[in-house]
Amino acid sequence: MAEQTVLKLDRVSKSFARIERDEITYALGETSLEMRSGEFVSIVGASGCGKSTILRLIAGLIVPTMGAVTVNGQPVDGPDPSRGMVFQKPTLFPWLTVEKNISFSLRIQKKLDGSAEKVERMLRLIGLEEFRDDYPAQLSGGMAQRVALARSLISEPGILLLDEPLGALDAFTRMNMQDEILGMWQGSQQLVIMVTHDVDEAIYMGTRVIVMEARPGRVRAEIPVELDYPRNRSSAQFVGYRNQILEMLHYGAKES
Ligand SMILES: Nc1ncnc2c1ncn2[C@@H]1O[C@H](COP(=O)(O)OP(=O)(O)OP(=O)(O)O)[C@@H](O)[C@H]1O
Ligand SMILES: [Mg+2]
């Protein structure tokens, strides 16, 4: 399993030139963050506040405009299998079956020992054993998203980047998957960074919740969640965190 990992964003910002409109979009204002192995960091914030941009910077899919992203002091200079990503829109290989999509990273990394068992475990986890020979076009949105999740989880990357991985799932499947992902993370030394729109999900899963604000995207607060797992969504402390975060996102209870 992964050695101790320290991920740093050191005064990172990202802007995009919009040539057709002669404009610049400031996707992420100057941001510094530090995260390490064993943490589960949730990121919440309004649409467009730079959440996916942060994950893409860490994945090495885009480069910062200013500042540096480093892992154990080494600059991130491109994608690497040690940083696995599940995208907001499921991206599966349309020409591969469910089973072959899931085993893809093991095959390219030549991690073939025990790969058949791992694939079985993943198919069970996402409840799609019967669909193993189907192609992505034959799946519903929620099923495709579960396959994308399994494809990243299977190689146990030291850093796992999840961009609203459970967004397309119904409420019950979603709660089951939350527990399954937590179970896997607890048995590992992984650093998981998960973007979600769901404040309860952020608190239920995270050791820390990062609350972001828009225009320009920036970190409003970092809130350590000091509750033991498994967490009780209706406990007074849980509700306290929920109110605190909703307030920051400007959805606090209105005074009547
Ligand atoms: N490749 C790009 N070119 C131009 N603008 C971009 C690009 N990627 C992101 N942006 C802009 O940067 C801002 C932040 O985008 P980002 O995708 O990080 O938001 P987000 O917080 O993930 O939003 P959502 O919750 O809707 O997924 C947005 O204004 C977006 O339009
Ligand atoms: Mg996004």
60 shares its domain with 96: no
107, 135, 156 — which closes off a domain? 156
Residue 25 Cβ contacting ligand 1 at under 6 Å: yes
23 shares its domain with 50: yes
Q: How far is the CA of 114 from the centre of ligand 1 (A)?
A: 39
Ligand nearest to the CA of 53: 1
Instruction: Specify the residue with its C-alpha closest to ligand 1, atom 11.
Output: 27
What is the number of helices (H) and of strands (E) in the chain? Answer: 7, 10
The tens place of each residue's pLDDT in the chain, 256 residues long, gives 446 899 999 999 999 988 888 888 899 999 999 999 999 999 999 999 999 999 999 999 999 999 999 999 999 999 998 999 998 887 899 999 999 999 998 998 888 888 899 999 999 988 899 999 999 999 988 899 889 999 998 988 999 999 999 988 889 989 998 998 998 899 888 999 999 999 999 999 999 999 999 888 999 999 999 999 999 999 999 999 999 999 999 876 655 4
Q: Which residues contact 180 (CB under 8 A, 6 or more apart)?
A: 125
156, 178, 213 — which closes off a domain? 156
Phi/psi at 164 (5° precision): 45, 60
User: What local confidence, expressed as pLDDT, does residue 161 receive?
Assistant: 97
User: What local confidence, expressed as pLDDT, does residue 256 receive?
Assistant: 45
Residue span of the structural domain in which 104 resides: 89-156
67 shares its domain with 99: no
7 shares its domain with 120: no
User: What local confidence, expressed as pLDDT, does residue 198 receive?
Assistant: 95
194 SS3 class: strand
Residue 52 Cβ contacting ligand 1 at under 6 Å: yes
190 neighbors 24 (Cβ within 8 angstroms): no
The minimum-distance atom of ligand 1 relative to the CA of 49 is 21
163 shares its domain with 146: no
Over 108-162, what HEC string results?
A: HCCCCCCHHHHHHHHHHHCCCHHHCCCCHHHCCHHHHHHHHHHHHHCCCCCEEEE
Ligand nearest to the CA of 56: 1
The minimum-distance atom of ligand 1 relative to the CA of 53 is 18
68 shares its domain with 132: no
156, 179, 207 — which closes off a domain? 156
1 shares its domain with 78: yes
Residue 31 Cβ contacting ligand 1 at under 6 Å: no
Ligand nearest to the CA of 213: 1
31 shares its domain with 142: no
Q: How far is the CA of 154 from the centre of ligand 1 (A)?
A: 28
User: What local confidence, expressed as pLDDT, does residue 252 receive?
Assistant: 65
197 SS3 class: coil
Where do we find the tokens 């467009």?
48
Instruction: Specify the residue with its C-alpha closest to ligand 1, atom 28.
Output: 48
Angle of helix 98-108 versus helix 141-153 axis, rounded to 10 = 20
9 shares its domain with 78: yes
The minimum-distance atom of ligand 1 relative to the CA of 217 is 14
Q: How far is the CA of 213 from the centre of ligand 2 (A)?
A: 13
CA distance 6 to 27: 24
User: What local confidence, expressed as pLDDT, does residue 230 receive?
Assistant: 95
255 shares its domain with 163: yes
Domain count, the chain: 2
44 neighbors 249 (Cβ within 8 angstroms): yes
E strands of the chain, at which residues? Answer: 6-18, 23-36, 40-45, 66-71, 74-75, 83-86, 159-163, 191-195, 208-213, 218-224
The minimum-distance atom of ligand 1 relative to the CA of 54 is 18
77 shares its domain with 138: no
196 shares its domain with 119: no
Q: Report the CATH number that the domain containing residue 187 is assigned in CATH.
A: 3.40.50.300
Question: Can you give the pTM of this predicted structure?
Answer: 0.92
